[in-house]
Every structure is written in C-alpha cells, then in structure tokens.
Structure 1
Amino acid sequence: MRNQEKRKKTFWTVLAVVISALHLIPFYILLTTAFKANNDFSSKWVLPSQLEWANFIEAWEKASLGTAFMNTMIITAGAAILLILFGSLAAYPLARLQTKLNKFIYFLFIGIMIIPPLTALVPLYQLVVDIGMMNTRTVAILNNLAAFLPLTIFLYAGFIRSTVPKELEEAAKMDGAGTLETFFKVVFPLLKPITATVLIISCVFIWNDYQFAIFFLQDKEVQTLTVALSSFFGQNQGSMNLVASAALMSMLPMTALFLFLQKYFIAGLSSGSVKG
C-alpha cells in the first residue's frame, strides 16, 4: 500500500511539474525576448548576453502605454467596484429570502451566464451609437458590469449561504440594526475571500478584454492596453523585443493582484461555487 501511495504521489508531482512548465515556457520566452537587443538574433531559448532595459522605455513611449494603462486601470477599477457593490447587495436577499421570485431571479442569472457575450454585440453596438456613448470609458465600465454581474451574484450568493451564519444577522437585528446596516457591518466584512475571488476573476478578464474594447474604444485617447498592444504589434513585427517588453509591462498589474489576493482565492471560489 505504501509503494502504491508513493507511486501515486510521484505521478501527481511529475504531472504538476509538467503542467507548470507548460505554463512557464511562454513566460520564459517572453522574458528572453523582452531583454534582447534588436540586433540580437540568437535563439529565443538563449538568455540575452546583456539586459536591454531601454526596450521598456522605448516600448512605453512608442505604444503610448501611459494613456492605455490609465484607461485600462480606470475601466477595470470602476467596473470592479460596481461589481462588488451591486453584486453583493443583489446576492444577499437572493441567498437569505428563498421565495419563488428570488429563486427565479437567481436561476435567471445563472441562465444568463450560459449565453455567449458576443451574441449581444450587434444590438449593443447599435444602442451605444444611438445614445452617443461610443469612445467613452463609461460604456466600457457599464458593459463589463453587465457581463460579470451574473457570475458575481452567483458566487456571492453561494458564499453567503454556505459560510455566513444567520445567527450573526439575527443578533444584529435584535440590537436594532436595519437590513442595510446589518449587511454592511456584519455580513460584508465576512465576504473577504469571495470578494478576492470576484476581484481576481473579473479584473483579469476586464484588463485583458479585447473583443468589446476593439469595437467601442476605437479612439486612441480611450484605447485600452489590449487594443494599444494589438496596434503596436501590427506596426512593429520586426521589433519583437519591443512588443515583448510592452506585453510584459501590461501583465504585471494583474500578476501582482493575483499574488496579493491568492490566499483568499481558492477558499472563496470553492465556498462560493460548490455550495451555491
């Protein structure tokens, strides 16, 4: 039995190492390319003989990454704040009041999650044009809010049901607290793990959104990182070191966010989705 357990452990360890390597190889190639000089034609597997930090400065200026970073940060932060606020507020009564109407609304949100977002592209584009909100960060924030709100409600509702004790809310109400006061002072502070999960999932997808940004944010002044990088790549296919430098800089904020919130991520995701 011990030998069998050791073999299983070895198998899963090797499998984990192989999967990790498959994910790290593209990142390694990105690093080696980003730090090479433009006239360095050595293999992508070979480390550069000298680190060209100037690549990052040149890429930042040529790709107008300063503006793109600011636009992406505003859109991502704005959508994330609204998702946490509206998602948690909507999930609370759906989790606690098990009426037929609430059950219908809850399963309606789950059903919406199945619909591919691109199916709404044509009518959404026409609506945005009609109300004059093309090339505005506001439309990007609202679009991402609508896209990720069903998933946010699903995760929050499941987490509240399975993790937050009703006795705490009952005690708060006995002390004279209203529903909103109970939620913000008692329930919401306990939602840190699922809030971290919502932040990571939504922010990563919003930060990397291209399919909607390319249609609604065509003006260079409001372009996000994905659109700016796509344009920069098309204009600099002969300077892959600059393209790699720009791509590396664009991924750093979300990498830092994940590393900062990772200890909450698994607990929040499992509690919010498995028992929802």
Structure 2
Amino acid sequence: MKTSLKPAYVLSVIIAVVHILPFYLLVTTSLKPLTDLSSKWRLPTAIAWDNFSNAWKMAALERAFVNNIIITALSLVLIVLLGACAAYPLSRYQTRLNKFMYTMFISALIVPPLTILVPLYQFFQDVNGMNTYWGVTLLYVTFNLSQAIFLYTGFIGSIPRELDEAAMIDGMGRFRLFFQMILPLLKPVTATVLILSGVGVWNDYQFSLFFLQQLDMRTITVSLATFFGPYSNNVGWVAAGSLTAALPITILYLLLQRWFMTGLTSGAVKG
C-alpha cells in the first residue's frame, strides 16, 4: 500500500515545485537592487526594500488600487446576483427555451474577447463608456457571466426540488423562496465564482489598456506596464509591484478556499 502511494507523492512534489518556482523568482527579483545583475535564480546579496516604495510611487499604485477595488467589487456583485438569478429558472424549469438559453450562455465561453474588441471599442465610444467605472464593469460582467451561470446552474440542480415545494406550500413566493432559501445555500459555488471571476477581473490587462486610458483611471496591471519601455526595464520594481498587487486576491482565496473546491465540483456535475 505504501509503495503504491510513492508515485503520487513524487508527482505532488513535482507539481508543487512547478507552482512555487515562479513565486520564488518573483520574490527574489523584487528584493534585488537594479544594479544586481546576477542570475535570477540566486538570492539577493543585498535586500532592496526601496523597490516596493519606488513601485508604489512611480506607478501611482495608490490610485490604481482604488480603481481595481471599485471595478472588481462592482463586477463581482453583479456577476453573483445576475448569475444566480439567471441560473435558478434555467435549472428548475427544463423548457425548450431555457435549454436553448443555457446552451447560448455556455457557447459564449468559447468566444475570445479580443475577437470583438474593435466593435466593442467603437460602441463604447458612441455611448461615452470610455474611462468610466460603469463601462468597464459591464464588460467584465458580460464576459464572466456565462461561467457563473454554468456553475450556479449545476449547483442549484443538486439542491432537492422538494425544498422549493415545501417552501411554496408554506406560502412563499418564488422571489422570496430564492432569496431566503436558495441563495444562502449557494455559498460554496459563490466562493468559486468570486475566486475565478475575481482573479480574472483583478489581473485583467487587455480591457483596462483599451477602455481605461486616462492616467487617473489606470488599473494595477496597466500602471506596472509603464516600467517597461525602449529606454528602461525596471524588472525589480515590476516584481515588487506585482507582489504587492497579488496580496488582496491571495487573501480572498485564503478566506474562501474551504468552499472553493466544493463549489467547483458541484457546479460541474449537473446542468
């Protein structure tokens, strides 16, 4: 029995090392001064804590963090509410129309956002949605809603229908039933949606680059990209800024990890 587990342990160690190596390189690079030209694999001989302060000041990360927090929070609230509300009837009522709508939502997952970037850009110029919170928030909600509906539909399908029937016998309407009975049961899959969508929105570069072009509307990824140019390449500052930017989403994952896998597997079984 012990012998059969050894390959699994070896594989687990290899996978762990593969995931830890990029983090190790990020940490060592963020702590090296710009004058340190040694191998990226070597530990820094002198720790340059000023990389963090320089990255914070030169990239205006204070404002970028505010933008990221506002955009990510608004997007996640809408993704969770709209995704859960749309998934409930799709899961409970298996009509032809609902099956067709569910198929359309799932089909949207295979559409690369960059393929429709040009018409989107023109549309947002026409409706004055450039450099606005509401404009980029709608973009993130649109491109993350299909995934949320897929996960919520599968998870709601695992909740017994008898719960709905019992609540309606007690006099509950559909809206009250959903918000008081069903929604509280969706914590595991909601944690999964928050993590998957939150990481995507927080780390997004393509939409932020094109639709948030004003300096005071830049997000963290776009702000850090300014350190790269034809005459400068401040890798240490970028690494320090990236490490700082990763902290909020890492904390979010640590808080929600106990529900993450449960919601992911339950949401992928049915639907």
Return the match for 2:40 from 37, 44, 48: 44
1:236 and 1:243 in contact (8 A); partners too = no
1:196 and 1:261 in contact (8 A); partners too = yes
Q: What CA distance in whole angstroms lies between the structure 1 residues aligned with 2:120 and 2:24?
A: 39
Return the match for 2:190 from 172, 188, 195: 195
Q: What CA distance in whole angstroms lies between the structure 2 residues aligned with 1:74 and 1:235?
A: 32
Q: What CA distance in whole angstroms lies between the structure 2 residues aligned with 1:225 and 1:263?
A: 28
Counterpart for residue 240 of structure 1? 235
Secondary structure (helix, strand or coil) at the match of 1:197 reads: helix
Tell me by how many angstroms 1:237 deviates. Answer: 4.0
Identity between Structure 1 and Structure 2 (%):
50
Q: What CA distance in whole angstroms lies between the structure 2 residues aligned with 1:104 and 1:40?
A: 59
Counterpart for residue 224 of structure 2? 229
Q: Which runs of 5+ in 1 are unaligned?
A: none
Counterpart for residue 11 of structure 1? 7
| Paired positions, count | 271
Tell me by how many angstroms 1:49 deviates. Answer: 3.7
Secondary structure (helix, strand or coil) at the match of 2:187 reads: helix
TM, length-normalised to structure 2: 0.95
| 1:170-189 to 2 correspondences below 5 Å | 170-189=165-184
Counterpart for residue 136 of structure 1? 132
Q: Render the CA deviation track for 1:102-137: whole Å, top value 9, x for unaligned.
A: 111111111111222222211111100111111112
Q: What CA distance in whole angstroms lies between the structure 2 residues aligned with 1:54 and 1:235?
A: 23
- What RMSD over aligned residues (CA atoms) do the two structures have, in Å? 1.5
Residues 1:275 and 2:260 are matched in the alignment? no
Return the match for 2:204 from 196, 209, 214: 209
Return the match for 1:261 from 253, 256, 259: 256
Q: Which runs of 5+ in 2 are unaligned?
A: none
> Partner amino acid for 2:67?
N
> Partner amino acid for 2:48?
E
Secondary structure (helix, strand or coil) at the match of 2:37 reads: coil
Counterpart for residue 53 of structure 1? 49
2:153 and 2:270 in contact (8 A); partners too = no
1:113 and 1:151 in contact (8 A); partners too = yes
Counterpart for residue 120 of structure 1? 116
Q: What CA distance in whole angstroms lies between the structure 2 residues aligned with 1:235 and 1:138?
A: 34
Secondary structure (helix, strand or coil) at the match of 1:232 reads: coil
Q: What CA distance in whole angstroms lies between the structure 2 residues aligned with 1:160 and 1:206?
A: 25
2:79 and 2:141 in contact (8 A); partners too = yes
Tell me by how many angstroms 1:79 deviates. Answer: 0.5
Secondary structure (helix, strand or coil) at the match of 1:214 reads: helix
